[in-house]
A and B are shown apart, each in its own frame.
Chain A
Amino acid sequence: MELTNQHGISYWQVSISDKGIGVPEDELESIFKLFFRSSKAKSVPGHGIGLAICQKIIDNHKGQLKAVNNKNKGVTFYFSIPAV
């Protein structure tokens, strides 16, 4: 996990990386939709609600949430929220 500031100090950005199975590139945007389960994660328990909740919360804070696959392994989630 890493904390950085973006665009000077306008936004605080938090990134959380894992070394897991990653997400197919064409599903990176869909994973934030309600009930969406990645094709790679069908065997992992879950309902596809957690990331949709995260998206709603970040939207309510006028921030941004995105996921990017790591070069080696896994995925990194970035969220940024306006600084005060």
Chain B
Amino acid sequence: MESCTNNEENLFNELNNKIAELEQQLKNRDEFLAHAVHELRGAAHNIYFISDYLSDHWLNIIPSRQQEHVTIIKGLAEHLKVLSEELLDFELISLEITGAHFNHVNLVEIISDSIEYYQKTLLRYPDLQMQFHTNNISEAIINGHSHRIRQVITNLLANAIKYSN
């Protein structure tokens, strides 16, 4: 009976060690990706700024074939710039420790601020309307990272506008 308990304890310890190893490997992977994406973002920004400069200052004096190439390079660099920024953000959130930068925040305030921002954006789309039902709730306190919660709300609102338009 005792040996059975020892066996179970050994298995339990082994399992815990494996979980810790796996967590460390995932952390290493996220750190590697964050570094790689950071480098990619730097390169994308440089290509974008150079092509933007060429487009602003040289476009009228270079042959039309090269003008086309500059425009294509600028478009691709812009795509890569946005992609690398979003990916870097994803990796940084993956590396954030749960609870770090957490405070008591009022969801009603964050939502109201986000809506105020998007009301201005909506002026460009007269066919779209936005409504916020608070159900008479004036305070909805959570323990959270206010910037990240705002990011979720603005992301979902931006999607709603993008797909409703």
Contacts and interface: CB of A to CB of B under 8 A. Distances in A.
B126 to A, nearest CB: 15
A24 to B, nearest CB: 14
User: For chain B, what secondary structure do more than half of its interface residues adopt (helix, strand, loop), or is it mixed?
Assistant: helix
Contact of B164 (A20, A50, A84): A20
B94 A16 contact: no
A46 B134 CA distance: 30
B155 A50 contact: yes
B162 A44 contact: yes
B87 interface: yes
A31 B5 CA distance: 45
Contact of A53 (B90, B140, B144, B145): B90
A19 B131 CA distance: 13
Contacts of A1: 111, 115, 130-133, 157
B39 to A, nearest CB: 18
B68 interface: no
Interface residues of B, number: 43
Interface in B10-58: none
Contacts of A58: 152
Interface of B: 82-83, 86-87, 89-90, 93-94, 96, 98, 104, 107-108, 111, 115, 130-135, 137, 140-145, 148-149, 151-153, 155-164
A47 B90 contact: no
B86 A47 contact: yes
A12 B148 contact: no
Interface residues of A, number: 39
A53 to B, nearest CB: 5
A60 B115 CA distance: 24
A43 to B, nearest CB: 11
B159 A50 contact: yes
28 contacts: A1-B131, A1-B132, A3-B108, A3-B133, A14-B111, A16-B156, A44-B163, A49-B83, A49-B89, A52-B90, A53-B152, A54-B156, A56-B93, A56-B94, A57-B145, A57-B149, A57-B152, A60-B93, A60-B148, A61-B148, A65-B152, A77-B156, A81-B142, A82-B143, A83-B142, A84-B104, A84-B142, A84-B143
